[in-house]
Amino acid sequence: MSQEHEHGLPPKSSVSRWFLTTNHKDIGVLYLITALFFLVFGGVLALLFRLELISSGADLLGSMGYNQAVSTHGLLMVFWFISPFAFGFANYIVPLQIGADDLAFPRLNALSYWLYLFSGILMGVSFFQGTTFAGGWTMYAPLNTPAYIPGEGLGATSVVLALIMFTAAVTLGSVNFLTTMYRMRAEGLRMRDIPIFSLSINLTVWMMLFAFAALLAALMILASDHILGTTYFQYSIDGTTMATDADNPGASLLWAHLFWFFGHPEVYIVFFPALGVMAECFQTFTGRRLVGRKWFIISMVLVALQSFVVWMHHMFLTGINLPIKTIFMATTIGISLPFDLMVFSLIYTMAKGRVRFTTPFLFSLGALILFIIGGITGVFLGAIVLDYQFRGTYWVVAHFHYVMVAGATALFGGLYYWYPKITGKMYNETLGKIQFGVYFLGFNLLYFPMFIAWETPRRVFVYPDGLQIWHSMATAGGFILGASFLIMFYNLFMSLWRGEDVGPNPWEYATSAEWAVSSPPPLENFPGVPSYATGKLEFLDDETVTERTERAPGAAAHGHAATDGGTATDGGAVTARAAATATAMEPAHETAGEEHASHASFWPFLVSLGGFIAFLGLSGVRTGSVFYLSLAAVGGVATFGSLVGMTREPFHAPEMAIAERWPFERVEKMKLGMWTFLASDIVLFGAFIGSYAFVRVAYGWTAWHHDLIPAEHVTMPGLINTYLLLTSSFLVVLAMVAAERESKRGTVAALVGTFALGVGFLINKGLEWQHLFHISTEAFPNGWGLSTNIASSTFYLTTGLHGAHVTIGLIICAYMTIRAWNGAYQGDDRAIEYFGLYWHFVDIVWLFLFPLFYIL
Amino acid sequence: MAVSLITYATVVFPLHGGDVRAPSAVFDQIFEVFLLLGTAVGVVVVAYTMYHALKYRDDGAGTDPYADKVERPEMGEMPTGGAGGRKVFYSFSISAIIVVSLIAWTYSQLLYIEQGPDLAQEEALEIDVEGYRFGWDFVYPNGHTTNTLYVPQDRVVRLQVTATDVFHNFGIPELRVKTDAVPGQYTSAWFTANETGTYAAKCYELCGSGHSLMTTDVVVMPQDEYEEWYAETNETDAGGNETATAAETDQRITAEATALGGAPA
Ligand code: HEM
Ligand SMILES: [Cu+2]
Ligand SMILES: [Cu+2]
């Protein structure tokens, strides 16, 4: 019976539901629980090395043990705990707040989650492969390359691969959230009108989309150094030459730039959702609207933009020149100012309020106070003369824990705030307050002494005796902080049974839509179609919806170009019929008019499991071990097979009948998803090309050509490939035209032509590479392979990444050819258009690579 | 002989380092000002926050003392901003002025630290520093190489720092000098020490198992003693370099680590 009701989803009590579900609320819960698990994992590691630090010396963990604990603690907390924890809330709450019934691509959402979980498992497995990664969470080069990793170094490779998997999850998630927020807002809800938590998530995912693409580039290069033997981050000198005469003088700084270009936006990626939670809790528990909301939002937008131009403040000591230092000092101070404004906005929101000191408010207020301290100490670091001395010391450690863990503090407040919504039960308020007390005490006892003992270099276990008292105090604080979580877990777990039942809204003055529905909300979220058209939340019944959509002028054909400024527009509304057929992303072979959305798919889990096995295998293939090789093969096949399965599975995720879609009224969700994805891909390639330019300039732009590239590396193969790709792009356009004209033969022929040209491109490339691998000249007696020098590494890896894009395109093209043969796409060329977007993009990338790697 | 050499050295190269404002003095001054103002701002803002939180605390009686003055948010309303934006703006402006003027003030000091004291170039003592896992080589102008840094008191010392394997960071905390040791390039830093004695130099960038123990001594000597020492390195240069090989350093590190209870891998 309940099967029927939940549209193919087993009940929540059944284990299988949690493997199958694609519903945003279920996935939100999965994220929250998994993230809390990684909090405990990272926390236990921290307690271990805090124990080590009670006194100077490494008598507990040993020096490598200490380095591993410190490094994995940082990675786990930053990647596997804090952002996923925030995204647990984002998953659960954002669709409810903006009036959507789910995310735009529910299966991709499930896929994000499973990739995240399995990436964490891979991280865990790395501990059992000898040693895990021990080079700090910032993973500086060349300490992060196999040459400097003790033993076989497989654990470290696994960590790099785990991070890649994590990044994949993040990228899918960003695409999904952006598409959802721009295409599925309740009628009348302009972008600026969405509740502040959702807004903070919107800006977070924008930053994620670009920052993580840069990280992905760094990680892919690093993985290639580990597995394929390229030498981007490798540096060696033969003993006679020094410094700039070396074989790859840009190695170390290349990593630093790539990492911090990601790393600085990452700190706001971590903090923004927390800011959103704080603002929500402040509004609700003071009974006041956020003061200066507009400026608060503008501040966040400014920070999000500026976050990409401050990264070198982590590199003030690397010998960058004074003008650049000055610029980055200015941007750093510039980015701290909007935060001042946000802090004051929160403070004044309390004025004339009815401030109720509930647990969520206590955590939010505590977070604000901690953040003020963290922010002030950050300004110290922005003063370069001070930073010179603070760099690499506990001052930095104390500063970033005061800001980042302040963020975590707000998120714990969020956990209490939304707990009744998610579970339908009230937690125990007394225990909550006790936890806050213990937490706040433990936090300050742990991190404040670090300011006093700031002269301690970070990541060392030896410090002067005079500082022991502060380090012991910090260790005590760490255990108190840890203990506070036992209270929280006990409270939240017991309240599942003992907690009082709550109605839709347990908090006076809460306003956002998640509180307008029952706790927990039903699978479909709302009792009707949510609308703010009248300026207030209403739920429209089916009849009103049909009426309205039929009235919408020209909606079916053109959408509706409503401006963001208009009030209560029905902008972008499409007719119900169009909505039902516009299924996008999820393949188009459902019958039109099928009412119910799908909520279950096993494929995301299988794809991720396959990916996990493949990556685990990859971590060890360089040893030539049969075990690892077969894991990689099995995993690869499993991933591919499940991806095909997922594509062929009928899955229905209808577009909303009425929605606010500014500024993308005319861009279907599939196309918007493709656009956002390609935007991140541009950054990925941009980072690869930037890396190439960087190491080449460090080496000497012209000497590079002269010293490192064989005469056999000629222009011709590249030129031919340019023609092949350009022609194939043209054929995709023809395929679209043919499909529009309903010419099945034409469609198939053009697709086959595209495919053939793409294959020709790859064959040509293969021949070229074979030739270069095996040349034997005076300068390159052993051929010009991936590991020969830095120029060959950049050439093979960058054009190889492009080749991989071509290969993926060809797989999709083959699949579409078969479907076209069976009569698909006739009269509806959208799928071909989406593929075309991707294919043209790959084409354009080549137009950049060709001159860079063949001519200059 | 030795005495006349020293006299010669002192006469030809008058050593002015003592008049120079040391980086440590610059740091101490800025840090002090920041600590004072930072604490003041922190205390004021936190107190202000707590004042608001407590003043507008709900009395729990279910009554709303501001009922006639303000309109409370209602379920399902469109999010809008509350009143009081002007106060936010004023407070923000004050804080922005404090922050910007503080940083601007430090900028002139930064220029000083960047450019170094205005002495004729030849007066500074130039020493190359090479970091390696897990120790430091100090290369003097005459090619002599040591593992301990010997420098004269009251003299400007310029370091050219690099690394031969991974990223390190060379710092002498008490003298407030620090810079990255990046393989493949040189970075520079300068300092002057007004007091003789032995200081510690440390590595500030994680570089592997021996990182925690990658420390060495910096010996600041009276100028004449230094000149004497330096003159001798000149004479014995042929075979007398006291540098340890990497293997020896590893042994030292392992021994120290074992003494501390942890064996580096
Ligand atoms: C008030 C504005 C802030 C300023 C002016 C500021 C400034 C800085 C500077 C200059 C550094 C580099 C220190 C060094 O390594 O020498 C730094 C490090 C750091 N900051 Fe901030 N910061 C601010 C806010 C934040 C926020 C909001 C977060 C995160 C929530 C954050 C997280 C970090 C982290 C994680 C590091 C250390 C990275 C590492 O080396 O491992 N900061 N900050
Ligand atoms: Cu930063
Ligand atoms: Cu080190």
CB within 8 Å: B85 and A292: yes
SS3 sequence of A708-755: HCCCCCCCHHHHHHHHHHHHHHHHHHHHHHHHHCCCHHHHHHHHHHHH
pLDDT at A227 over 50: yes
CA A382 to ligand 1: nearest atom: 10
pLDDT, position A571: 32
Question: How many independent structural domains does chain B possess?
Answer: 2
Which of the two residues, A572 and A228, has the higher pLDDT score? A228
Are B175 and B246 part of one and the same domain? yes
Return the structure tokens found at A31: 């994220």
Inside any domain, residue B17: no
Q: Which of A579, A509, A526, A520 is nearest to A98 (CA)?
A: A526
**Residue pLDDT, tens place only, A564-590:** 333 333 333 333 333 333 333 334 333
pLDDT at A591 over 50: no
First vs last C-alpha separation in chain B: 50
pLDDT, position B1: 42
**Residue pLDDT, tens place only, A473-521:** 999 999 999 999 999 999 999 999 999 999 999 999 999 999 999 999 9
Ligand 1 site, residue A270, Cβ cutoff 6 A: yes
Domains, chain A, ordered by start: 559-587+607-855 (1.20.120.80)
Are B33 and B138 part of one and the same domain? no
CA distance A508 to chain B (A): 9
**Residue pLDDT, tens place only, A519-541:** 999 999 999 999 999 999 999 99
Inside any domain, residue B27: yes
Give CA–CA dist A81/A35, Å, rounded.
5
pLDDT, position A484: 97
CA distance B148 to chain A (A): 19
Portion of chain A with pLDDT greater than 90, in percent: 86
Ligand 1 site, residue A829, Cβ cutoff 6 A: no
Interface test with A, best of B51, B56, B90, B187 (most A CBs within 10 A): B56
Which of the two residues, A363 and A548, has the higher pLDDT score? A363
Domain that holds residue B56: 23-72+82-115
Residue A561: pLDDT band with limits 50, 70, 90: very low
CATH number for the domain spanning B210: value is: 2.60.40.420
Per mean pLDDT, which range of A92-106, A205-219, A648-662 is the poorest?
A: A648-662
Chain B, nearest residue to A531 by Cα: B76
Residue B7: pLDDT band with limits 50, 70, 90: very low
Are B131 and B245 part of one and the same domain? yes
Give yes or no for A799 touching B (CB within 8 A).
no
CB within 8 Å: B52 and A136: no
Are B223 and B104 part of one and the same domain? no
Are B29 and B64 part of one and the same domain? yes
Give yes or no for B263 touching A (CB within 8 A).
yes
Are B87 and B201 part of one and the same domain? no
Ligand 1 site, residue A402, Cβ cutoff 6 A: no
pLDDT at A237 over 60: yes
Give CA–CA dist B135/A783, Å, rounded.
37
pLDDT, position B2: 45
Give yes or no for B81 touching A (CB within 8 A).
yes
Judge whether A572 and A637 are in contact, CB under 8 Å.
no
CB within 8 Å: A350 and B38: no
DSSP A57-76: S-SSSHHHHHHHHHHHHHHI
CB within 8 Å: B180 and A515: no
Averaged pLDDT score across all residues of chain A: 91
CA A339 to ligand 1: nearest atom: 1
CB within 8 Å: B184 and A243: yes
The predicted model scores a pTM of: 0.93
**Residue pLDDT, tens place only, A777-804:** 999 999 999 999 999 999 999 999 999 9
Give yes or no for B255 touching A (CB within 8 A).
no
**Residue pLDDT, tens place only, A5-56:** 566 789 999 999 999 999 999 999 999 999 999 999 999 999 999 999 999 9
Ligand 2: centre distance to CA A402 (Å):
14
Are B151 and B55 part of one and the same domain? no
**Residue pLDDT, tens place only, A325-365:** 999 999 999 999 999 999 999 999 999 999 999 999 999 99
Integer Rg of chain A from CA? 28
Give the residue, by CA position, lying nearest to ligand 1 atom 41: A138
Q: What are phi and psi of A457, to 5 degrees?
A: -65, 145
Give CA–CA dist A56/A50, Å, rounded.
11
Amino acid identity for residue A367 in this structure: A
pLDDT at A291 over 80: yes
Ligand 1: centre distance to CA B200 (Å):
27
CA A390 to ligand 1: nearest atom: 16
pLDDT, position B248: 58
Residues in chain A: 856
Give CA–CA dist B165/B175, Å, rounded.
26
Are B132 and B251 part of one and the same domain? yes
Q: Tell me which residue in A63, A292, A383 faces B212 most closely, judged by beta carbons.
A: A63
Domain boundary among B97, B115, B133: B115
Give yes or no for A291 touching B (CB within 8 A).
yes
pLDDT at B238 over 80: no
Measured N-to-C along each axis, helices A196-227 and A293-306 cross at an angle, to the nearest 10 degrees, of 10
Are B93 and B179 part of one and the same domain? no
Return the structure tokens found at B74: 């209602």
Give CA–CA dist A409/A608, Å, rounded.
31
Ligand 2: centre distance to CA A313 (Å):
6
Give yes or no for B78 touching A (CB within 8 A).
yes
CB within 8 Å: B26 and A385: yes
CA distance B2 to chain A (A): 34
Interface test with B, best of A302, A310, A348 (most B CBs within 10 A): A348
CA distance A7 to chain B (A): 29
pLDDT, position B233: 87
Are B168 and B207 part of one and the same domain? yes
My answer on whether omega of the bond before B134 falls inside 30° of 0, hence cis, is yes
Give the residue, by CA position, lying nearest to ligand 1 atom 8: A378
Q: Which of B260, B204, B133 is nearest to A63 (CA)?
A: B260
**Residue pLDDT, tens place only, A42-55:** 999 999 999 999 99
pLDDT, position A611: 98
Per CB-CB distance under 8 Å, the chain B contacts of A386 are 27, 30-31, 34, 106
pLDDT mean over A703-709: 91
**Residue pLDDT, tens place only, B250-265:** 565 555 555 554 444 3
pLDDT at A203 over 90: yes
Are B97 and B212 part of one and the same domain? no
Residue A722: pLDDT band with limits 50, 70, 90: very high
The predicted complex's ipTM stands at 0.90
pLDDT, position A584: 35
B187-191 and B157-163 strand pairing: antiparallel
Ligand 1: centre distance to CA A704 (Å):
36
Inside any domain, residue B51: yes
pLDDT mean over A817-830: 92
Residue B246: pLDDT band with limits 50, 70, 90: low
Reduced DSSP (H G I as helix, E B as strand, rest coil) percent helix, strand, coil of chain A, to 5: 70, 0, 30
Residue A549: pLDDT band with limits 50, 70, 90: confident
Ligand 2: centre distance to CA A382 (Å):
10
Give yes or no for A279 touching B (CB within 8 A).
no
pLDDT, position B265: 37
**Residue pLDDT, tens place only, B175-219:** 999 999 999 899 999 999 999 999 999 999 999 999 999 999 999
pLDDT at A554 over 50: no
Measured N-to-C along each axis, helices A106-126 and A603-620 cross at an angle, to the nearest 10 degrees, of 30
Inside any domain, residue B8: no
* Cα-to-chain-centroid distance, residue A658: 29
Of A400, A405, A447, A459, best ligand 1 pocket probe by most atoms within 8 Å of the beta carbon: A400
pLDDT mean over A82-88: 98
Give CA–CA dist A491/A429, Å, rounded.
9
Residue B16: pLDDT band with limits 50, 70, 90: low
**Residue pLDDT, tens place only, B81-124:** 988 889 999 999 999 999 999 999 999 999 999 988 876 555 78
pLDDT, position B252: 59
What is the CA angle A34-A38-A40, rounded to 5? 115
CA A74 to ligand 1: nearest atom: 41
Portion of chain A with pLDDT greater than 70, in percent: 93
Per CB-CB distance under 8 Å, the chain A contacts of B57 are 355, 357
CB within 8 Å: A319 and B78: no
Residue A616: pLDDT band with limits 50, 70, 90: very high
pLDDT, position A238: 62
Are B68 and B168 part of one and the same domain? no
Judge whether A585 and A108 are in contact, CB under 8 Å.
yes
Give CA–CA dist A249/A696, Å, rounded.
9
Interface test with A, best of B31, B109, B212, B250 (most A CBs within 10 A): B212
CB within 8 Å: A289 and B213: no
Inside any domain, residue B181: yes
Chain B, nearest residue to A385 by Cα: B110
My answer on whether omega of the bond before A142 falls inside 30° of 0, hence cis, is yes
Ligand 2: centre distance to CA A138 (Å):
12
